[in-house]
Amino acid sequence: MEQPEARQEEVVAMQEDTKPTESTAASEQAAPVELEMATVVAEEDAEAAAALDASGEDGLDVVCAGVPTFVEQKRWEKFLRQKGVDFISTRKITAQRFAKISFATKAAMDDAIAKLDGATVRGSTIRAKVAKRAGGEIELEDKPVEKRQKTAGKAEEPPKDINDIVTPMWRLDYSDQVRKKRNVVLKKLKAVQKEIRKKSAYDLPRWIAQAKTTSQCCSFKLFIQAEESQRDGYRNKNTFTIGRDVAGRPCIGFALGRTEDHQTSVADPSECRNLPKEAKAARNLLQQFIESSPHPPYEKLGHTGFWREAVVRTTRAGEVMLAIQVNGDAVSADELQAVKTSLIEHAKASTNPPISSLYLQSYSGVSNRAPDDQETELLWGQPYIYETLFDLKYTSLYFLFLSYVAIADLRPHPPTHHVLLRFRISPSSFFQVNTSGAEALYKVVGDWVAATKDSVLFDICCGTGTIGLSLASRAKEFPVSNPENDQVVGVDIVPSAIEDAEANAKLNGITNAHFFAGKAEDVLPDLLERYREFPSVAVLDPPRAGAHADVLKAVRKCERLQRLVYVSCNQKVLPVDLAHLCRSESKTMMGTPFRPVQAIAVDMFPHTEHCELVVLLERINSPTFDAAITTPAPIVATSDPVVDASASSSSSSSSSSSSSSTSA
């Protein structure tokens, strides 16, 4: 799935994540300390307090401190009604530890204070006080002077560099970036063996019992580096936040962090190395438009403002899609229509870059991400842009050579010959953010899964079908008279992704692939049963959270599935997932265990801490699971990890590899 790249949209999500956890609930029980913190927040956040200032006469407002951050507006209103509080309006902003309540009469306000002061909500004690106003700011009556002075004397931190957030390794030489990532992968492969030992404490698989406890679970000989020309400007999808910079000016970019007044500051992304020039030009185009707009950027703290975010998608052929999200509730219907008209004129007039598709989405929710079924309106241009894979005009021969080296010392599986494929891309479509890197990744996956005309290929967590469709010509072909039986079977939880997969199959004239929408843990068992008579191979490309345990159980239980290629975008969950697949058989995890055979990393996200890791697994009773593979080869530390791969290649391929290396 779209991945691990330190995705810019995930930077925002990580900064503003307010989901309750056990540690959160526990910390909120430390009432004295937290109440002081809540008081300071209420004192310092002048803009937030002003935003909270709704109805009610002066002197008839109450501020409640100590409300847990994860208590939402509806839950807060329900709590007040349960307490019998007679209020006109109330405002509780998620991620803040205070709420404001307005009353019609002083008697109602006094009654509410008596009921709320000292009450508990979700384990946290509330302090309710009359909100006094000082220069337009709502403040608590008993503001501690020492706290105010301590905050006032605090030195301002120097501004952060957005590159350190979006591309934290950008200051390092590329060889040092690869070395750091390689070491992380090695640690995780060692952790896999430890996890398998832990889950198989009373019945260790033989290969685990014979291995050293400090060794990695399988051979790791190659880290496919990004070609020099592909290390910058590789992201084909970029999600920009529309907010204000540290000076308070409208800005389209990436979240820099929270300011002292608890607003999210946005930084100009023009110097970010992973953005292509087309994305930067599209961002600049919209920046000019918003600077002259009468409507302000959206502010999550007070749920005010209009402009929310912009998604820019680009292709190697130069197509540009611009999708803008706004808070439609902040303007009238006529004003919204005027914005649409102006945007269309602005997009039509643009030559740098020329806009191929212009979309607008109106979304008034508090969370950053709109629901999957939220309507997105095409304002102008074509509904889709199109990207190609394995097009020799763009495909990196360097990447393809390295992926060929990856299988040089494995079984005599012939390399996969990929045909040119074309994929349609909509605003919400999933597509790997590094197109050239995806080609190298799919080349490795295709060679390792080794689908044949006699086998069925399962593409689990298939997204828009890119992996399965790229391998459709390799697996079993069924008679046209039985259309229910397909060569490639894809499963994904997102219905729109399945629609895109079906459309991409039709676009490329692939008639022997079919895709199913639903949770893999629910759909996969029936599909595996349907094709139980045929040899099966599978690709599992789970989301960042890892594969569901029921998915892994279904894969383990299907004995006809002899080979599995696991694609990991988040190596933190890799040990747990592989331990389920490789641990000894038990009542909860039935079926012959798998064994990791080989691992290859693909650096699809230069200048970040992430990479894609591909792991080949085979059943321990597989006929191809020979002794030459069962003992992991030692890792030789070198300055260039590619040397490891060529040095470990079999003698029969060494000469060809050497000549190919020279030409590459």
Residue numbers annotated as active site? 569
Q: How far is CA 603 from the centre of its chain?
A: 16
Nearest-angstrom CA–CA distance, 319 and 313: 8
* Cβ-based neighbour number of residue 35 at 10 Å: 17
List the end-to-end C-alpha distance of the chain, in Å, as a whole number: 29
Give whole-number Cα distances, 314 to 166, 352, 388, in Å.
Answer: 19, 13, 12
Residue 337: both structure tokens together: 């229509």
Q: How many CA atoms lie less than 13 Å away from 593 in the CB half-sphere? A: 23
Nearest-angstrom CA–CA distance, 410 and 224: 17
In whole angstroms, how large is the CA radius of gyration of the chain? Answer: 28
Query: Is position 193 annotated in a ligand binding site?
Result: no
- Give one DSSP letter per residue of 61-78, joined into a string: EEEEE---TT--HHHHHH
Query: Is position 603 annotated in a ligand binding site?
Result: no
Query: Is position 562 annotated in a ligand binding site?
Result: no
From 164, 325, 285, 239, select the one nearest 13 (Cα to Cα).
239
Q: Where are the beta strands (DSSP E) in 468-550?
A: 488-492, 513-517, 536-540
- Give one DSSP letter per residue of 354-398, joined into a string: PPSEEEEEE---SSSSPPTT---EEEEE-S-EEEEES-TTT--HH
User: 651-663 and 641-648 are packed helices; what angle lies between their axes, rounded to 10 degrees?
Assistant: 140
Q: Using an 8 Å Cβ cutoff, are 577 and 571 in contact?
A: no
Pairing between β-strand 127-130 and β-strand 61-65 as defined by DSSP bridges? antiparallel
Nearest-angstrom CA–CA distance, 343 and 162: 28
Find residue 517's DSSP bridge partners. Answer: 492
* Cβ-based neighbour number of residue 144 at 10 Å: 13
From 65, 29, 47, select the one nearest 141 (Cα to Cα).
65
Question: Annotated binding site for S-adenosyl-L-methionine: which residue ranges?
Answer: 432, 492, 541
* Residues annotated in a binding site: 432, 492, 541
